[in-house]
Amino acid sequence: MADDRRYHMKFGPDAAAHVDAYFEYRKIVGEDDDGKLFTPEEYENYKKTVVTKRMKNRLFVSWTSPSGMDCKMIGPETPCFCTHRYKQHKTDFDELPSERPIMVPCRVKGCKCKSYHYVPLNGSQPIRCRCKHFADDHSEIRPYKCKKGCNCVGFKSSFTCSCGQPTFAHETLIETKEERQARGHPVGYDVPYAAMGGITGFSSLAEGYMRLDNSGIGTPDDEFLNQPIGASDHPFLRMHASTINQIEGGQRRGQITAGEVDQLSDQMSHLKRPGESDMDFYERRYQERQKEQRNRVRAPRPAIKQSQRAVKK
């Protein structure tokens, strides 16, 4: 009986290319085919009519803190307050709307959501309102009244974001490319994919306080990067703190030569030397590891005493 349930599947040499083509199709078309694949002719016509205006009129969506930091960048699969995903909302426009805020209504049949609105999760669970009911127990129409029959007139949660601000202090910001650039935030490259929202790269998937760009916490300043080594630093830095301070202090006072710097740096081969490029550093570390490995192979084995040989026999 077990043999009757076995399936032997064979794939041709072009199978991987077909899978890649399908994923490319799905990222471009999104939900516009209503679950029925376009024919090759329909697919080409779709790209000619939609992709150009999509790359020109892309909307950037983020969940922003009062300080202006984008705590969450919205992507195609990010759920809305109405429980439907961003890709299920209207994201393509022939002309960018002139009124503000920009409305991005849900396209799912029967959904009353007038515009995309992000609500965070507590781990994998929806957050609760002050009325103790979950977000999905509330109406999808502003001000998101509770549907459980309580006196709640609108969803308001005290759940705190990782930035330290409560949920109700944040704003779902929908903006054009020009408006986002005016705020000094990155926009990435123009892409033909549907409902990209605020996703511009892998760093967009991280929370705001972890992103070291203008949309997050920002690049640390020189004062932070050059602060003295303390007890909270990595053990490697604490172990070599005296040598590092000797190099930096001698360079500032002009009392240390380049040869002495190299000599001290040899004691910490894991650190870059002054003026050494990244590629030179990686090549030097690679050659050092190769040399150590060769020396271990060539090292003579310890002699076995005669008594030990007799025991083995």
Contact 59, 89 (CB under 8 A): no
In angstroms, the CA 21 to CA 149 distance is 49
CA atoms within 13 A on the CB side of 277: 3
- Confidence band (pLDDT; 50, 70, 90) for 293? confident
Nearest to 204 by CA among 75, 86, 58: 75
Record the pTM: 0.71
Torsion over CA of 134, 135, 138 and 141, rounded to 10 degrees? 180
* pLDDT digits 0-9 by tens, 56-111: 999 999 999 999 999 999 999 999 999 999 999 999 999 999 999 999 999 999 99
Give the range among 78-82, 244-248, 274-278 with minimum mean pLDDT: 244-248
- Confidence band (pLDDT; 50, 70, 90) for 255? low
